[in-house]
Structure 1
Amino acid sequence: MNANPPGLPAIDYRAGTHATFLAALLRAFGADPVLRALGTHDGTEPLVATADAYSMGLDVLTFYTERIANEGYLRTATERYSVLELARAIGYELRPGVAASTALAFTLAKPVPVPHAPGVEVPTIMHAVTAPEKITIPVGTRAQSVPGPGELPRAFETVEEIEARPEWNAIKVPVTMWVPPALGDDELYLKGITTGLNPGDMILLVGNERLGSRYNENWDVRRVAGVRAVDRVGDLAEHTVVTLDMPLGTTEPLVHPTREGQRVYAFRQRGALFGHNAPPWESLPVSMRYGEMAQTGGGPHDVPHWVPGAYAGRQDSWADAYLSATQEDVFLDRVYQGLTPASWIALATPSYIELFRVEEVDETSRADYLLQGQVSRLKITGEHLNFFSPRNAVVWCGAEELELAERPLYGWGGGTVVPTNGVPGVVPGRLVAVRGELLRGGSRSEVARVASVVGSTLVLETGVASYVPVTVRLNANVAAATDGESRTEILGGGDGAAAFQTFTLRGTPLTYTSASTPSGTRSSLEVRVDGLLWTEVPSLYGQGPTARVYTTRRRDDATTVVRFGDGVTGARLPTGRENVRASYRVGIGAAGNVAVDKIALPMSRPLGVEEVINPVAALGGTDPEVLGQARANAPTTVLTLDRIVSLRDYEDFARSFAGIGKAHAHLAWNGERQVIRLVAATTAREPVLPGTVLHDNLRAGIDAARHPGHQVVLETFVPRPFTVVMRLVVEPGRAYADVSAAVTASLVDTFSFEKRAFGQRVSAAEVLAVAQNTLGVRGADLDVLSTGSGGLAVTLPAAPVELLTLRAENVQLTELREPLP
């Protein structure tokens, strides 16, 4: 028997083979004085034929001896039974797989009174409603998936009891927010889409500050630069967005827009002051300026005479003269309808504008500046009236009030705080589903548990994404659910005279769900004997003679055997007829990982339930463990012993946790202390996302086993596929198609999810070595090694949370017929 170094996939345990045994016998014949005279070693010689047969027997014997020896070691065993028994010897059971977990959102019918003729007295029962105002959805409420091509339907059942109400079907979130106009804003939001505004119109923003003081400057008159009417979209009311030609307020000097009682007015009329169209003073004939010129002469008895061009004070009160700062009345150039006391007007020049409050309005006849006619007289209050003249002032009047609107929330920041329009009765601890269109595009739905309720605001345990508020709907009629269908059966009758009595469950496979136990699973089986619940234990060893316990074993055909004690290690079953009953669920595996909105067939329908849907995909379903996985995971039982001390323990504990396919732990500095960062991936090669059942249970399991002084951070792994472009030189006589297919398969296998580690880099030399070691490859030239669009990298680095893998579609091979340079 040869020496066997550690790490071999099989051990050499044979003392010899047919050839070596036969050769040894023939040599022995030659050494014997009696048999030395044997003249032939031909197989026709009876003695040689006997030695050949004996050698064949030894060959068979040593072959099976070697096989038995290989089956005695976990690394080299090939039989499932051998792996099972070797694993059980150290307290490890092959993981049974895990049922997928999701959440079911129920839609309830809204209560509607039964119609009856008015004034007609009807029995009280006729006043009932067609649906209850609230119902209880019990544990075990079942729904079924809608199978796609090549799929089978999967049954899911709720695992928690919830109260459901119709008003929780589609809870809305606020779609607008009151945002008062502020310094620098260049838009105003107005209610309705019939504001009558057009570009070029003037609008006023004013508030209580200006009403309290004629000298207050917290007001703005702006020209409309653009108008955009927005029709009703869902819960978002129709409104108008007005773009201003200048931002509100000023920075030099600093003047804010009004902050108290903000009101918006549209000036519907544009006018002028009386005299704006008077002829210029200089153009009047001298005769018309008579008496308006300065008088000159000697003493009081001198005859007065007029000097043309020596103007007196009348010119200063002509239409070009500025108004008096103390006057209260102004005259418009005509009669304007719709002007009322307590309204607003604005006087404007090309470089200045001022706001005035109208105190009185009447119509009067006005004659001046060689003009006359019926005009509107306004008594106004304000300041800086002396900045305007009849000639240069433009009058904006006819102020019509428009109503400010709340601003639409075009983006909802997500997170853990979710404002709503009312959630009566929602209590902490229940699940809610959030569905809507994402800000970055596309749609999504999520499920989170309520941590607290503050007024009409929900505070969630985990954050949600950023949505377009008008599309968001929350459903609080949500219950956690797992894959599997409930069964109840009579296992048989107990026999007090029988030790280690066993029963086999008829339903297969038994459902196991994700849990925070060291193994990561929990059985759905409940066994009652004479109505009393018995407890499942990993082993009967150490159990007392009266302990009502049992163990389970899974056979290769997926059936489950239930085994009871012998009265020494675990209690015997009491004698009875059909007194052993079991309730459990069947269904397990990755086939239960159905997509969003696939579970849509309610199989059990409590009164009032109209629809059911899974707002999130079912995740965490894993198939039973295979031999290759058991070889790697079984030793972790004795490495961790269900406790975590070292950094390696975190990896071993996570890898032995049901549903986890790969894990890596490393130390990192957070600025204050070293923390343990653990990155893990599921057996389905997916990240372990926060908020999922698997993530929460893994976290709880680690917390229960780790040192309390260690700070642990669970990180989400990032898959990073890379691209390989290579030219191959194929050996003469070999088909290029066969060789390239072999190279692709070898590359994909070498850089697969199973064989690569988190943070492991990939080098160009490594890629070339894999290709050149493939049968039929004479040479290889690597052109592209990249995780992006192209380029040849010497080494592809990877962060601790990244996993560099290669897919077949990312391998591009071409034949190189010329010799390599």
Structure 2
Amino acid sequence: MSEDVQQIRYADVLARLQTEIAAATPTTTVDGQILDGLAPLRSRSSADFTLALADAWAVLAEILGFHSARHHEEACLGLASELRSLIELSRLVGYRPDPGVAASASLAFTIDDAGSAPVVTIPVGTAVTSVPNPGEQSVTFETVQAISARPTFNQLLPKRSRPQTFTTPPKSVLLAGTATNVAVGDGMLVPIGSSGHAFGIATAVTVRPDDTPVAGIPARRGWTRVELKMLPDETPSAHPVPVGLNLWPSPLPRGPLLSALSPQGATIMDTEALRAAAVNGGFDTADVFAALRASQALPQSVLVFRAQAGILGGSTPIKQTPPAPTTGAVKAVLSPSALEKAVARAGAETVVAKVAPPHAAAEKVVPSAALQKAAMAKAAVPPAIRANLPALDAIWTGASLNDFLTVVVPKPSSTDVYVYCDTVVRAAKPGPIVLRDGGVWRLIEAVGVDTRSAAVFTVAGKSTVLRVTDDDLTKFTIAGTSVYLAGELLPLAGEPNTIDLPAGATNIGLDDWVDGLAADRLVAITGMSATHPGLAVAHVSALKAVRHELSPTGQTAIDLLDPLPDALSRESVRINANVAPATHGQSRSEVLGSGQGQDQLPVFTLSAGPLTYISDASGSTPALTVYVNGVRRDRVAALLDPGERGYTVSQDDKQITTIQFGSPLPTGVINVRADYRIGLGAGAAVRARQLSMLASRPPGVRAVINPLPARGGADPETVDEASRNAPVSVRALGRAVSLVDYADFARAFPGIAKASARFVGVGAARGVQVTVIGPRGTEITTDSGVYTGLVAALAAGSDELIAVRVLPAQRVPIRVGADLRIDPDRITADVVAAARRAVVAALSFGVRDLGQPVWSSEIVDVLQSVPGVIAADVTALCRLVDGKPEYGKIYRSYLRPDPPAGSTSTAAVLLTLDVTSLTLKVVTP
């Protein structure tokens, strides 16, 4: 009973009666009659009839006083303690105690990709049941919005790779596939830029196998990484790419569909614009994406040389002979250390003469350029060879005493050159080959391949002979030159995109074009945190926009309405676009009764409960539809019109739902029927992935899961909450003007336990920031029905020129420790337990407000109010961040309700006790 109501006590009444009896005199008159004197009465025994009668009246007075006080309390909105009284009193001021709201969840469906239907409709009312843990009961959620689901939406992937291109010679390359058969020592020609190339030797090969296929997740193809030792290319422009070698595939020509859709080439269109263009053009959007995939260029390739050979005669020592006279006509002078020793011009004659310099013991002779020119003039050297005099002169001048000079006679009718390999290469074929001598290499084209017997110096045998067209081979020696041949084009793999998706990101580029995505569609994004190893992250958001890049290198990109809460490892990200909103509640259908024409205000009750209420802009709406003679009737707020055809819904303190109509119903037999759902409250806050049992399986649906915990469920309003919130309807009158109005408006909204409001800067304008928190301290997330309903209600009930921002509150735990001196006459354990309960109650969620600080003095006051506590000294009072004292200090005399360190949120803070860290120590004087 409230202390504000004066109470009548039995002891007080009895004492007053005894006093008045003792003070009575013979002159006392009642209605003009003189009463007998009572002064001589000296007995105080309850056995005396007079005192027994007084005792009985005292008992009766207390009983009557108690009921009178209770009636007084229950008639006052601020004093009522019975829910029924609050319900009836609240109706007088236009307030309805919150019946509670159902929890909401997002359900991610997996569609059977083996089915024939490309699109599966998941209807409203699809039921999914939770898998309870020991001691729990299963709850049922049902979808509240129909969606068109597709197998292709099961697992969308972010852009995981990009084309592998090189502007400088790379140290390694990624090849597509795992069966490339590249070995250490293989030569490789790599495309550089748009037309260049570089040559390298494989030094290491690493193979990554294909991913293991997982149901619903496309396996990623493996790749082969080849580490390269690149050779310098002094004059790459002087060695053009052979005809037919294409390391840079060109995009395929755009078909008529793409040309008609975007005549200017690449363009970006959102889903709505693309659909409109498709309708105008008489084609389907799927045809556009199919045409784009068909027009994609093949990936760039590298040329891997599968065979390697030396030059015939390269391992044979040159025999030294004494000087001998030269015979025949000298046609060209070449150093025997040059590659021309193994290259015979097509149709050339045999060696005419070999001229050795003077014997080693003789005086050193250094031929001059003049001597060489004279010899060439005497031999009538053709002009083509004369043009190369500087090179020949350098060879002659650099000759040592042990060098031989080889004289050949060219055949002017042909420019073909033959390269004799030191072995038979069965895989040899016409095409590009590379000659390498140390760090010098040349890419040339073999226009013919043959196997024949050949003899060079003292070496004879079968050889693969390559007919080439390049005759500028003076930089290559016989002993040091290798031939790389039997080239094979291998496609480059896409370069892995290892950049994580950052926290706060709202744009995600997908790995392909995706047909059917549109704004407002829900998507569930899951993956592993990039900043907290081992932490799985799930996020559900509506799509703000969907854009398609209509080019051969493009893809679909999505814009999220709610940014990512944490950075995600790109490789682990999976996106499910088959997501439907759902709420707690199980559907029922029943016959309420029969209409009677003579009944002016028909009343019916539902047989099951509690009735499900869904959070919306009005606060909450019952999941109830009533039919009379098969015609739906509308729910109304009041039955003021005598001819009102609608009905009202009310609930009593036992959660029994009553439906009352405002006018007589047509007479009939069981012609009043109701479809409704039952179930609400915070008890349906299932954990993530706990909703997984399809109670009714739509065709084509394989599985379902809730990626996030269910949120937003609230129990019916308690007496204290209803008493506090009922006056809001009178103070705010359904609109928010002052800061107090905004806070009251939000606090009275179903599913909101505490709220605060303050003026802040929102963008370039001034506005109001409202901070809210749910029952028992549950977070009001931006994707919950309570949040969206509150935002819509505030927008409708406030000035549209004032920006309103709603934020979930930040909960910051605090640590408390104290030393206690206990009365030695009391049981220490009992006093400590009572002190602990007092501190927990004083710092619990129910009694703390948003933005309320904590003082050490109030902790002392709470402890010293406990019977048996003589003295108390607070030894620890601090805020906890990740379980540790903030700023490393365990004691502060005053805790401010500021955001925690590192937080960027401006939402109000709620300081509550971390019960596990509460320590009370008993000290002795």
The aligned counterpart of 1:76 is 79
Of 178, 196, 214 in structure 2, the residue corresponding to residue 193 of structure 1 is 178
For 1:84-123, list aligned pairs within 5 A.
Answer: 84-109=87-112
The aligned counterpart of 1:511 is 612
User: How far off is 1:143 after superposition?
Assistant: 3.4
> What amino acid is aligned across from residue 494 of structure 2 in structure 1?
E
Matched, 1:401 2:489: yes
The aligned counterpart of 1:139 is 124
Deviations along 1:679-723, one digit per CA (max 9) or x if unpaired, are 222224222222222222222222111211122222233333233
The aligned counterpart of 1:334 is 422
CA distance in 1, matches of 2:160, 2:318: 55
Matched, 1:149 2:142: no
Matched, 1:358 2:358: no
Partner SS for 1:588 = coil
Partner SS for 1:536 = coil
| Maintained 8 Å contact 2:418/2:468 | yes
Structure 1 residues 774 and 380, CA, compared in 2 at 3 Å: closer, same or farther?
farther
Matched, 1:343 2:432: yes
> What amino acid is aligned across from residue 170 of structure 1 in structure 2?
N
CA distance in 1, matches of 2:128, 2:790: 27
| Maintained 8 Å contact 1:654/1:660 | yes
User: How far off is 1:593 after superposition?
Assistant: 2.3
For 1:670-709, list aligned pairs within 5 A.
Answer: 670=762, 672-709=764-801
Give TM-score scaled by structure 2 length.
0.71
The aligned counterpart of 1:419 is 510
The aligned counterpart of 1:303 is none
CA distance in 1, matches of 2:919, 2:736: 45
CA distance in 2, matches of 1:52, 1:72: 30
Structure 1 residues 433 and 320, CA, compared in 2 at 3 Å: closer, same or farther?
farther
For 1:353-392, list aligned pairs within 5 A.
Answer: 353-359=440-446, 379=468
For 1:754-765, list aligned pairs within 5 A.
Answer: 754-765=846-857
Matched, 1:501 2:602: yes
The aligned counterpart of 1:787 is 880
| Maintained 8 Å contact 1:292/1:312 | no
Matched, 1:559 2:636: no
Structure 1 residues 78 and 174, CA, compared in 2 at 3 Å: closer, same or farther?
closer
Of 20, 23, 26 in structure 1, the residue corresponding to residue 19 of structure 2 is 26
Partner SS for 2:696 = coil
User: How far off is 1:438 after superposition?
Assistant: 5.3
The aligned counterpart of 1:228 is 206
User: How far off is 1:810 after superposition?
Assistant: 2.3
Structure 1 residues 658 and 784, CA, compared in 2 at 3 Å: closer, same or farther?
closer
Identify the range of structure 1 (394-403 vs 182-191) with the bigger mean alpha-carbon deviation: 394-403
Structure 1 residues 482 and 317, CA, compared in 2 at 3 Å: closer, same or farther?
same
- For the aligned residue pairs, the C-alpha RMSD in angstroms reads 4.4
The aligned counterpart of 1:578 is 670
| Maintained 8 Å contact 2:614/2:621 | yes
Matched, 1:539 2:638: yes
CA distance in 1, matches of 2:322, 2:814: 97
Q: Percent identity?
A: 29
Of 311, 331, 347 in structure 1, the residue corresponding to residue 366 of structure 2 is 311
CA distance in 1, matches of 2:191, 2:703: 52
For 1:594-613, list aligned pairs within 5 A.
Answer: 594-613=686-705
Structure 1 residues 82 and 576, CA, compared in 2 at 3 Å: closer, same or farther?
same
The aligned counterpart of 2:837 is 745
User: How far off is 1:99 after superposition?
Assistant: 1.6
Of 303, 307, 310 in structure 2, the residue corresponding to residue 265 of structure 1 is 303
The aligned counterpart of 2:625 is 526
Partner SS for 1:526 = strand
Identify the range of structure 1 (653-662 vs 179-188) with the bigger mean alpha-carbon deviation: 179-188
Structure 1 residues 48 and 499, CA, compared in 2 at 3 Å: closer, same or farther?
same
Partner SS for 1:787 = strand
| Maintained 8 Å contact 1:503/1:562 | yes
User: How far off is 1:523 after superposition?
Assistant: 0.9
User: How far off is 1:163 after superposition?
Assistant: 4.1
Structure 1 residues 159 and 391, CA, compared in 2 at 3 Å: closer, same or farther?
same
Partner SS for 1:632 = helix
User: How far off is 1:445 after superposition?
Assistant: 5.0
CA distance in 2, matches of 1:195, 1:691: 48
The aligned counterpart of 2:163 is 179
CA distance in 2, matches of 1:243, 1:582: 73
Deviations along 1:41-94, one digit per CA (max 9) or x if unpaired, are 524655555444444433333333333333333343222222222222211121
Partner SS for 2:790 = helix
For 1:653-672, list aligned pairs within 5 A.
Answer: 653-670=745-762, 672=764
| Maintained 8 Å contact 1:484/1:586 | yes
| Maintained 8 Å contact 1:718/1:802 | yes
How many residues align structurally?
752
User: How far off is 1:275 after superposition?
Assistant: 8.7
User: How far off is 1:768 after superposition?
Assistant: 4.5
| Maintained 8 Å contact 1:168/1:477 | no
- Structure 2 unmatched ranges of 5 or more: 28-36, 214-218, 235-245, 250-299, 326-353, 369-395, 405-414, 549-554, 900-906
| Maintained 8 Å contact 1:768/1:782 | no
User: How far off is 1:787 after superposition?
Assistant: 1.0
| Maintained 8 Å contact 1:96/1:512 | yes
User: How far off is 1:627 after superposition?
Assistant: 0.9
The aligned counterpart of 2:345 is none
Deviations along 1:473-530, one digit per CA (max 9) or x if unpaired, are 555554333222222333233344334332222122111111111xx20012222333
CA distance in 1, matches of 2:232, 2:540: 43
The aligned counterpart of 1:550 is 647
Structure 1 residues 328 and 650, CA, compared in 2 at 3 Å: closer, same or farther?
farther
Structure 1 residues 675 and 774, CA, compared in 2 at 3 Å: closer, same or farther?
same
CA distance in 2, matches of 1:312, 1:374: 38
Structure 1 residues 402 and 82, CA, compared in 2 at 3 Å: closer, same or farther?
same
User: How far off is 1:231 after superposition?
Assistant: 0.7
CA distance in 2, matches of 1:787, 1:348: 70
The aligned counterpart of 2:154 is 170
User: How far off is 1:809 after superposition?
Assistant: 1.7
User: How far off is 1:222 after superposition?
Assistant: 4.2
CA distance in 2, matches of 1:776, 1:348: 98
The aligned counterpart of 2:343 is none
CA distance in 2, matches of 1:396, 1:317: 29
For 1:2-21, list aligned pairs within 5 A.
Answer: 10-14=3-7, 18-19=11-12
> What amino acid is aligned across from residue 220 of structure 1 in structure 2?
A
| Maintained 8 Å contact 1:348/1:395 | no
User: How far off is 1:554 after superposition?
Assistant: 0.8
CA distance in 2, matches of 1:438, 1:335: 57
- Structure 1 unmatched ranges of 5 or more: 1-7, 113-130, 211-217, 251-257, 296-305, 322-326, 566-570
> What amino acid is aligned across from residue 880 of structure 2 in structure 1?
T
CA distance in 2, matches of 1:249, 1:450: 51
